[in-house]
A and B are shown apart, each in its own frame.
Chain A
C-alpha cells in the first residue's frame, strides 16, 4: 500500500497507517460492507467504542456503528458508491477517510491506527491508494463498472447485446467468458446454465434458462461476472453468475440523455458464404441499429425517499438479399463442381425489423437508520416484424440472440418465415434491509416477480384463432420438400427474370434445388412465464478466535409456464413429391407435426393447437461462516441444500430432485498481511436449476397424429387432408389403419433420478504490483459428475428421462464434460486518467456433453436435447467440445487526455484474440430419423481447428465539461477495425447422402477413428480425403470414399464437397456513433 503523508490544518482527521483491504463476499442483492479493525497507534491494542460514521451521495442519511471489544467495526447493507468514513472517540484524534469506492456486493476492509490526542499537536491526514487485492474471498470473477463502460467499446452492434446493449453482453470482458449462441458461456458451460440477476432477482427465462430480461447497461451501475468459487448464497447454477445492479437516486438530481446509431452503410465488406451446387445464394447484413434514451435520479425527500427512472427506445433492421443462378450444362467450376451463371436482375431484398422500449422505475426509502426499503420495476417490451418485413427472431428461436439464419430467407418462401413477434419481460422486486443489535444482526428480505411473454404469430396479424381459415396466413400450412425439383415448384415470389430462365424449356433439368419450407408459416407459439421469488438471509457477527460472519438463509421460487403451440394451418407437412408416398399420388405428404390424439381408430381429434401449463417449485437453504482466523487467514465454509419439483400439465408431480447438498469450502491467505497479496483455493459442488421446457414437452407429453396423404394442404387445408385423403398404413404394423399416434405418453422418469451436478476447484494468487494495479494467476477445474437427459433404448420409439450411465440408463455412456483453465491477468483500475486489463487464458474442454443446447443444430431443449437420445449415436463423441478454445487473449487499455480544463479526449483500445474450436467429421442418421450431424464418423475434433479470430476495437470520445457534474460527450466506437473475416463456423457434414452401395445406408462410426490412422478398407491412406468432383462414366460425379455403415459393413459414399467450407464468418467492421449529456 502506498501512503502519502500530507500536513494540513483544520481537517481534523488523523491516522498513521490505514490499510484498505477489499474483500469480496458475494452477498445476495446490492448490499456491501465496510469493516475493519481499529488499534491504538502507540500500544497497538484494540480500541473499543470508537464511533464510526459512513456517509455517501449514494446513501440516504448516514450509518453509525461502534467498534467492539476487539476493535472491530462493521457497517453492512451499503449500496455501491463512494464513501467517507469518520472515526471518533474521546482521547483520540478524529480520523476521516474519503474516496472509498465500494462496488456492489463487496466487503471492504479498512484497518487503521488511531492517534491519541496527547501524542501530537498537528493534524495529519493520511491518504493512501486503496489496495486492490481482494483478501476476503476466493470467488473468481470481474466487475464491469461505469469507468469500464465509459472507456471501452463494448456490446458490439449486432452482437448478443442487440440494440439495447443488454447487461450480459458486456460480460465478455471477463476472462473465461465468451459469447455463445444464446448468451455468455462461462468456464466452459453453456449460457442457459448461468444465473442472471438484477438487484438479486433471478431474471432467467424459467422455461429455457437463458436470459429473460435483456436490460440495458444504461440503467445499471455495474455488472458483476462471477465465474467460480462463490459461497453457498449463490446456488443452482452449473455455469456462472451475471449480476446487474441498478442505479439509484441521490440527494442531488443526476441523469443522462443519450443516443447511439450504427449505420449499416459503414460496415465492412462481408465475405460471401459460397456453397457448391446452389441455385440461390444469399447475404445478411446489418442495415442500421440504434437507441436513445434518458435517465433521471434524485430525491423526493432528501435523505429519506429517492427515485431513479429511465427510458430507452431502440430499433434494429437487418437486410436479407438473395440472387438466383442457373446451371451451365456440362460445365464445372474451378473446384470441379457444376458451374452456374447468375441470372440477371434476380436480386431480391427484404428487411427484418425489431423495436424495443425499455423502462425502469426505482424508489429507495429509508424507514429509519436500521431499516431501508427499495422497490424496482423494469420492462423490456420488444416487437418484431410487420406486413412486409420479417421479425428478427422467429418462433422456435425466440431465445436466439442473433437474427435468424440466412437460409431462412434464401431457401424459404416469405410466407413460411413471416411472423410478428412480441417478447416482453416485466420485473418487480422489493428489498428490505434491516439491522439489529447495533448492526451485529442483519436481515435481508427480497420478494420479486419476473414475468415474460414471448410470442410468434403469423405475419399478417391473423393470430392463433385463424389456423383453419385458408384466406389468412395463419390458415396456410407449411411444407418441407424432401426431393429436388425446379425452384419454381417451391418458390412463387421470384423476379420475372428467374421465371423466364427457370420456367421455360425443360424444367426438369433447370434450376434444380430443394427448399427448406414453402407454403405458410411453420411453428407458431405463445409462451407466458411467471416466476415468483422470495429470499430471506440472516447475518450474525461473532467474535471467537478471530471474527465470524455467519449467514443463514432460505429462498424459493414458484414458476409457471403456459405454452400455446401450433403450426400454420394446424400442421406442418413433409412433402415427398408426386408419387412419393404411394404410387399415383399427385402430391404425397405426411404430417411432420400435428398436435392431436386418436379418440378412436382412425379418428384424429384436436384442432391442432396444444396448450400446456406446467410449473416448478424450487426451495433452498444455506448456512455459511466466513471465519477470519485470528484475523490472519479467512476460512469460508458453507453448506447449501436445494430441492426442485416439476409438475406436468395435469398438475401432478412429475420430477423430484430433493437431494441437492452443496458443500463449499475455501481459504484466503495474505502472505504480506498488508492487503497486498493473497493465495486462495476453493472447492464447491453445484447443481443445475432445471428449466421448465422439460415439464412442458417431455413430462407432459406432446401428442402428435400422423398419416400419409394425397392432397395439397395449401389448397384444401388440414380439414381437406384428413381421413378421406389419407392412405392406408404403409406397413403391416398398421393394417387398414391410416392414422397413428406419436409421443403421446408422458415421458417416464427414472425413480432414482439424480440432479445435474458439477464439481469445481479454483485456486490462485494475486499481488499488488503498484497502486490500483494487481497481477494474478488462477486455475479453474470443473467436472460434470452427471447430467439429466432423455434417452431411448429402442431406437427412438419410446423415451425416458434419466442420468446417462446410471440408474435405468446403464446402457448409455455417462455424460462427461471436464474443463481446465489457467488465467494470467493484470488489472489496473481507473486512476491517474488511465486503466488497463490484460488477460491470457489457456483452457481445455473435453467430453461428450456440451450442455443445455446443441451447438451444431442450435437445438435449445435443456435436458431433453437430441444428443443422448440414442446410445449408438454417442460413439466417437468423446473429445474436444465446441467450446474448447485453447488460447484467449483480452487486452483493454484506456487513457483520458486532458486537452483543456474543460475538454478531454478518451481513447480506449481493445484487442481480443481466440484460437479456433475443433472441427469434426459428421454424417446424417436418417434411418433413426435424427437427420444431419448426428453420426461422428471419426472421433470428435479430428478435422483440425478453425483459425484464430482476432478483433481490434476502439472508442474515441470528446468530453466537454459544462459544470461540476455536467459533461457532453460525442464519440465513436469501432468494432473489428481491420475487418478480419475469419470463419467461425464450417460445414462438418462429411457425408450428406445415403451410401451408393448396400441399399442406401447411413454412414456409421469408425470406432475410435483418428485422421492419420484410419484403418483399411476405410478412407484413403489412413485419412478421410477432401471431397470434389471427378470424371465418371456418365459425366462429372462426386468423389467417393469407403466408410462403415451402422452395422460396420463397408459401403461407398459420396463425399460432401462443402465439408470444411465456411458457413459463417466473424462479424464485419462497424461503427457506432454516440452522443451523451450527463449531469
Chain B
C-alpha cells in the first residue's frame, strides 16, 4: 500500500534546497559609460596656510570620476579623476605618462540590506606628468576618496553613489562630500532628462538616467562642469543619498 509521504518528502527536500534570496553582486559602472559626475560641497575650511582659499578649492566642485573593477574576483575598484589629468600647452586633457593617477580600493561581494556597496578607502590618486611633456605637474595635485557608497541593487546597478573626498593642490587641502551619477546627460530643458525615448519628437533614445532617479535639468551643475551657457546637466533634485523616486 502506498504512503503519501514518499511523494511529499522529495518535494520538500527540493523546495528547501531552492529557497533563499537571489544573489546580487556589487556593481560599479565602467569607464565606457563616460564616468560619474561628482558634485560635491566643501565640508570645512580650506587648510594649508596663506593663499589657500576659495579660489584654490571652491565651496562647490564638480569632477568626472571613472571607475573600473579588476581581478578575478572583481573586488578591486580603481578610479581616475578628470581633474587629475595632465593638460597640454593649450590646456586640454593629455595622456598621463604613468598610472600613478589611479586610486585603488576594495569593495564587498554583495550589497547590504539597503542595496549599498561600500569602498571604505581608496589610495590617493596623484596627478602625474603628461605623456607628451614629461614634466611633473606643478603644483602637485591629488584626490583621496573615502566612504564611497554605490547604490548597487539590481534596479540601480551602481549608477548612483555618494562619497567623501579630500582634494589637495600644492599645500592647500579641503574636504568635500557629494553625490555621484552616471551617465552624464546634458540637457537644455527638463524634457531632455526624460529616461524614456520619444522618437516622434526627435529623441531616439532616453537620457540614459535611471527612471527611478528624480532628476531635472540643472544649469548650475552644468556651469560647474564647464558646459556652455544654456547647457545643463540632468542632476538630482535633492542632495541626500540615496535619491530615489517615491
Q: Which of B85, B102, B205, B206 has the most CB of A within 10 A?
A: B205
In chain A between 616 and 673, which residues have their CB closer than 8 angstroms to a CB of chain B? 617, 619, 621, 643, 645, 648, 650, 652-656, 658
Give 10 A-B contacts (CB < 8 Å), ordered by A residue. Answer: A653-B18, A732-B85, A735-B85, A735-B94, A737-B99, A794-B183, A797-B32, A797-B33, A807-B155, A1004-B204
If the complex has contacts A794-B208, A795-B205, are A601 and B30 also in contact, measured as CB distance less than 8 A? no
> Which of B19-27, B55-63, B137-145, B172-180 forms contacts with chain A?
B19-27
The answer to the question of B108 belonging to the interface, with a C-beta cut-off of 8 Å to chain A, is no
The answer to the question of B78 belonging to the interface, with a C-beta cut-off of 8 Å to chain A, is yes
In chain A between 391 and 422, which residues have their CB closer than 8 angstroms to a CB of chain B? none
Return chain A residues, CB-CB under 8 Å to B195.
793, 811
Asked if residues A798 and B33 are in contact (CB atoms below 8 Å), the reply is yes
Asked if residues A601 and B99 are in contact (CB atoms below 8 Å), the reply is yes
Minimum distance in angstroms from A630 CB to a CB of chain B: 30
Contact size range, B: 35 or more
The answer to the question of B51 belonging to the interface, with a C-beta cut-off of 8 Å to chain A, is no
Return chain A residues, CB-CB under 8 Å to B11.
554, 556, 619, 621
Asked if residues A795 and B208 are in contact (CB atoms below 8 Å), the reply is yes
Q: Which of B1, B71, B157, B204 contacts A599 (CB 8 A)?
A: B71
Q: How far is the CA of A306 from the CA of B85 in the complex (A)?
A: 81
The answer to the question of A518 belonging to the interface, with a C-beta cut-off of 8 Å to chain B, is no
In chain A between 547 and 582, which residues have their CB closer than 8 angstroms to a CB of chain B? 554, 556
- Point out residues on A near B: beta carbons under 8 Å: 434, 436, 441, 443, 534, 536, 538, 554, 556, 597-602, 605, 617, 619, 621, 643, 645, 648, 650, 652-656, 658, 728, 732-737, 740-742, 744-746, 748-751, 793-795, 797-798, 800, 807-808, 810-811, 870-872, 875, 1004-1005, 1007, 1046-1049
Asked if residues A654 and B95 are in contact (CB atoms below 8 Å), the reply is no
Return chain A residues, CB-CB under 8 Å to B96.
735-736
The answer to the question of B218 belonging to the interface, with a C-beta cut-off of 8 Å to chain A, is no
Minimum distance in angstroms from B8 CB to a CB of chain A: 8
Return chain A residues, CB-CB under 8 Å to B33.
794, 797-798
Q: How far is the CA of A536 from the CA of B6 in the complex (A)?
A: 10
The answer to the question of B154 belonging to the interface, with a C-beta cut-off of 8 Å to chain A, is yes
Asked if residues A749 and B154 are in contact (CB atoms below 8 Å), the reply is yes
If the complex has contacts A740-B31, A811-B196, A811-B211, are A601 and B14 also in contact, measured as CB distance less than 8 A? no
If the complex has contacts A733-B35, A733-B66, are A872 and B1 also in contact, measured as CB distance less than 8 A? no
Asked if residues A736 and B70 are in contact (CB atoms below 8 Å), the reply is no
Q: How far is the CA of A536 from the CA of B10 in the complex (A)?
A: 10
Minimum distance in angstroms from B119 CB to a CB of chain A: 16
The answer to the question of B134 belonging to the interface, with a C-beta cut-off of 8 Å to chain A, is no
Q: How far is the CA of A350 from the CA of B47 in the complex (A)?
A: 78
Q: How far is the CA of A461 from the CA of B155 in the complex (A)?
A: 46
Q: Which of A655, A735, A736, A807 contacts B22 (CB 8 A)?
A: A655
Q: How far is the CA of A653 from the CA of B19 in the complex (A)?
A: 9
In chain B between 60 and 74, which residues have their CB closer than 8 angstroms to a CB of chain A? 66, 68-72, 74
Main secondary structure of the interface of B (DSSP, over half): loop
Asked if residues B31 and A733 are in contact (CB atoms below 8 Å), the reply is yes
Q: Which of A653, A749, A797, A800 has the most CB of B within 10 A?
A: A797
Asked if residues B21 and A599 are in contact (CB atoms below 8 Å), the reply is no
Minimum distance in angstroms from B208 CB to a CB of chain A: 5
Minimum distance in angstroms from B213 CB to a CB of chain A: 11
Asked if residues B99 and A597 are in contact (CB atoms below 8 Å), the reply is no
Q: How far is the CA of A744 from the CA of B25 in the complex (A)?
A: 12
If the complex has contacts A745-B25, A811-B195, A1048-B202, are A619 and B32 also in contact, measured as CB distance less than 8 A? no
The answer to the question of B126 belonging to the interface, with a C-beta cut-off of 8 Å to chain A, is no
Minimum distance in angstroms from B206 CB to a CB of chain A: 6
Q: Which of B10, B25, B70 contacts A598 (CB 8 A)?
A: B70
B194 and chain A: residue at smallest CB distance: A811
Q: How far is the CA of A545 from the CA of B79 in the complex (A)?
A: 75
Asked if residues B18 and A617 are in contact (CB atoms below 8 Å), the reply is yes
When each residue 200-238 of chain B gets 1 if its CB lies under 8 Å from chain A and 0 otherwise, what string results?
Answer: 111111101011100000000000000000000000000
Q: How far is the CA of A656 from the CA of B85 in the complex (A)?
A: 45
Minimum distance in angstroms from A208 CB to a CB of chain B: 23
Return chain A residues, CB-CB under 8 Å to B205.
795, 870-872, 1046
Asked if residues A745 and B93 are in contact (CB atoms below 8 Å), the reply is no
Return chain A residues, CB-CB under 8 Å to B31.
733-734, 740
Minimum distance in angstroms from A940 CB to a CB of chain B: 15
When each residue 68-97 of chain B gets 1 if its CB lies under 8 Å from chain A and 0 otherwise, what string results?
Answer: 111110100010100001000000011111
Asked if residues A601 and B204 are in contact (CB atoms below 8 Å), the reply is no
If the complex has contacts A601-B70, A653-B23, A811-B195, are A733 and B32 also in contact, measured as CB distance less than 8 A? yes
Asked if residues B93 and A735 are in contact (CB atoms below 8 Å), the reply is yes
Asked if residues A656 and B22 are in contact (CB atoms below 8 Å), the reply is yes
B210 and chain A: residue at smallest CB distance: A793
Q: Which of B15, B25, B27, B154 has the most CB of A within 10 A?
A: B154
Asked if residues B68 and A741 are in contact (CB atoms below 8 Å), the reply is yes
Asked if residues B30 and A797 are in contact (CB atoms below 8 Å), the reply is yes
Q: Which of B95, B154, B204 contacts A736 (CB 8 A)?
A: B95
Minimum distance in angstroms from A166 CB to a CB of chain B: 32
A1008 and chain B: residue at smallest CB distance: B200
Please provide the 8 A-B residue pairs with the shortest distance between their CB atoms, ordered closest to farther.
A748-B154, A652-B23, A1046-B204, A808-B155, A1048-B202, A645-B18, A794-B208, A735-B95
The answer to the question of B45 belonging to the interface, with a C-beta cut-off of 8 Å to chain A, is no
If the complex has contacts A619-B14, A797-B32, A872-B199, are A750 and B25 also in contact, measured as CB distance less than 8 A? no
Q: How far is the CA of A538 from the CA of B78 in the complex (A)?
A: 59
B21 and chain A: residue at smallest CB distance: A653
Q: How far is the CA of A735 from the CA of B85 in the complex (A)?
A: 9
If the complex has contacts A735-B96, A740-B31, A1048-B199, are A597 and B22 also in contact, measured as CB distance less than 8 A? no
Return chain B residues, CB-CB under 8 Å to A875.
197, 199
Q: Which of B7, B27, B35, B85 contacts A536 (CB 8 A)?
A: B7
Return chain B residues, CB-CB under 8 Å to A749.
22, 24, 154
Asked if residues B72 and A556 are in contact (CB atoms below 8 Å), the reply is no
Asked if residues B71 and A597 are in contact (CB atoms below 8 Å), the reply is yes
Q: How far is the CA of A597 from the CA of B71 in the complex (A)?
A: 7
Return chain B residues, CB-CB under 8 Å to A734.
31
If the complex has contacts A619-B11, A736-B95, are A871 and B27 also in contact, measured as CB distance less than 8 A? no
Q: How far is the CA of A1047 from the CA of B203 in the complex (A)?
A: 6
Q: How far is the CA of A652 from the CA of B21 in the complex (A)?
A: 10
Q: How far is the CA of A1046 from the CA of B23 in the complex (A)?
A: 37
Q: How far is the CA of A648 from the CA of B212 in the complex (A)?
A: 27
Return chain A residues, CB-CB under 8 Å to B113.
none
New A-B contacts (10) at CB < 8 Å, excluding given A736-B97, A751-B155: A597-B70, A658-B18, A733-B31, A736-B95, A748-B25, A750-B155, A797-B30, A800-B154, A808-B212, A1049-B202
Return chain B residues, CB-CB under 8 Å to A1005.
199
Return chain B residues, CB-CB under 8 Å to A745.
25, 27, 69, 74
Asked if residues A534 and B10 are in contact (CB atoms below 8 Å), the reply is yes
Q: Which of A621, A654, A733 has the most CB of B within 10 A?
A: A733
Minimum distance in angstroms from A840 CB to a CB of chain B: 40
Q: Which of A655, A733, A736, A1046 has the most CB of B within 10 A?
A: A736
Return chain A residues, CB-CB under 8 Å to B7.
536, 538, 554
Asked if residues B25 and A746 are in contact (CB atoms below 8 Å), the reply is yes
Asked if residues A599 and B70 are in contact (CB atoms below 8 Å), the reply is yes
Q: How far is the CA of A1009 from the CA of B188 in the complex (A)?
A: 29
Minimum distance in angstroms from B90 CB to a CB of chain A: 14
Asked if residues B14 and A617 are in contact (CB atoms below 8 Å), the reply is yes
If the complex has contacts A744-B69, A794-B208, A811-B206, are A556 and B10 also in contact, measured as CB distance less than 8 A? yes
Return chain A residues, CB-CB under 8 Å to B25.
745-746, 748
The answer to the question of B153 belonging to the interface, with a C-beta cut-off of 8 Å to chain A, is yes
Return chain B residues, CB-CB under 8 Å to A795.
205, 208
Minimum distance in angstroms from A222 CB to a CB of chain B: 30
In chain B between 148 and 197, which residues have their CB closer than 8 angstroms to a CB of chain A? 153-155, 157, 183, 195-197
Minimum distance in angstroms from B188 CB to a CB of chain A: 14
Minimum distance in angstroms from A128 CB to a CB of chain B: 39
Asked if residues B68 and A872 are in contact (CB atoms below 8 Å), the reply is no
The answer to the question of B50 belonging to the interface, with a C-beta cut-off of 8 Å to chain A, is no
Return chain A residues, CB-CB under 8 Å to B203.
1047
